[in-house]
Structure 1
Amino acid sequence: MALMKFLNNRPDTPYFRPPPLYFRVLKSCDQLRSLMFEEFASKVQQRGCYIMRGHELRGTAPPNNINVTARTQFFRAPILSVSEDLFTEAEALLHPHAPLTPLKMSSPNEGLVTVQGEVAEFSAVKDVLSGKQHVPLRNLQLKEDGYAMSVCLRREAGIHSFNVGDQINLSHMKLNHSSYGPQLHSTTYTKTETKVEDRAEVLIIGVATSEKPKQLEVLLDDGESLFIDSELWNPFDKELEEVAVRVTVQIKGKQIMQIKKNQCE
């Protein structure tokens, strides 16, 4: 292919300027804005055809990367005909398959996987050097069915907010082995989701102060304890002085996000 020949053959001279590229955008995703300057992202639309000039080729070994700079220009161009098979191939590249896989059955031979489980512990976000960029990194321990595994989350996945006890879903993870044992690493495709649970007929029998600022800990009749914002709890505090509080709640991990009084039948 002409593009691969272009990426694999960069002359070893500081005076080289890549020729203009005539291309069609087959598929795009939200990552486009993180890969291009903000002012250019809106100029390149899915299925659109363009001539690009003022770009650069960068890399330590072939295939090199096309780098968009402040000098890069995009010109709308006539339609470039491509087969539907290429659209399908582009979709697979942007959204690779990552099947839901139990933690204890993860294998480095399975490629990208999606895992879920309970957050047992997590570290503070660290700023680490990756290449020439500083990126956020967070480590956590994930548990599922009595099995625990270390997880390393970078970039967008690393700044996601967590609480111990959160039930989370991590997509497009890659299993690596190190001297510390197996560890799941996030990729550029990883999406992090904390599961939200709706519960009706929850009976709160006690409340206590918490080490968390502006948070209280409530005790349920089955022995489970959850956390709730003190302002969110205020309307129910007086009632608890006389009787247990029966409510419907929305829970995210161990945190009550919404709470409302059950209607009398």
Structure 2
Amino acid sequence: MTQSVDLNADMGESFGPWTMGDDASLLQVISSANVACGFHAGDPDVMSQTMATARDAGVGIGAHPGFLDLQGFGRRKMHVPHDTMANMVRYQLGAALAMARSVGTDVRHLKLHGALANMASVDHALARACYEGALDVCPDIIIMVLASTAMEEVARDLGCNWCGEIFADRAYNDDATLVDRSLPGAVIHDPAVAGPRILEMVQAGAIITEGGKKIQAPIDTICLHGDTPTAVALAKSVRQSLEDGGVEVRQFQGRVG
């Protein structure tokens, strides 16, 4: 059987006249798009345009909720009561569903953004609040989790549809969490490094940490951040490396339990 994996990217992060990332080019490379829902980035016009472009490219659409933090781009830790956080996820997912349906498509997955995702990867209660909030709105949605973290444990326990994600452009700690962005080498910008590195992980079925540790992981999708200068080149390198290694790029189907 041919091995396959999904490629996803965060996008729709422009705001008004301010543009971030080359979404149109990325959508020619990836198979799933995580669209900002207005709290950390994006606005209704950007959401609509991004989803319509993704629809035309045959790319799966996901909601990408985060903290209410436009100035900090959702990358600052915030301590929000869990009930409130669940409502914030419901609110953002609702907006994504409405905008997707307005352009004749739908939302098939949900992925937490930035600091919220990093916090939920080690905080079971926070992850549960966010995921239960999303499932209240859309019970069949596929929850995209950081593989081999608290997120995965919560999704399995909930018995919902989920898929495991690793990052092409981020370094890993030995507990499968991401190296803090403030540290050297946390973000990988070189396409020549990213492609072969990801192929090695997919073939091994494991996250390979900065220290060389291999952590077995369900690798269903690979994330490429859309807000870096080399994003498109990096995405192309990852896809080419995977295909050259005999790995097919296609949308994930989701797991249960």
Report the TM range for the smaller structure's normalisation.
under 0.3
Bigger RCO of structures 1 and 2 (CA < 8 A, at least 6 apart): 2
Higher strand share: 1
Work out which of the two has the higher radius of gyration on C-alpha atoms and give 1 or 2.
1
Q: TM-score, normalised by structure 1?
A: 0.20
Higher helix share: 2
Q: TM-score, normalised by structure 2?
A: 0.21
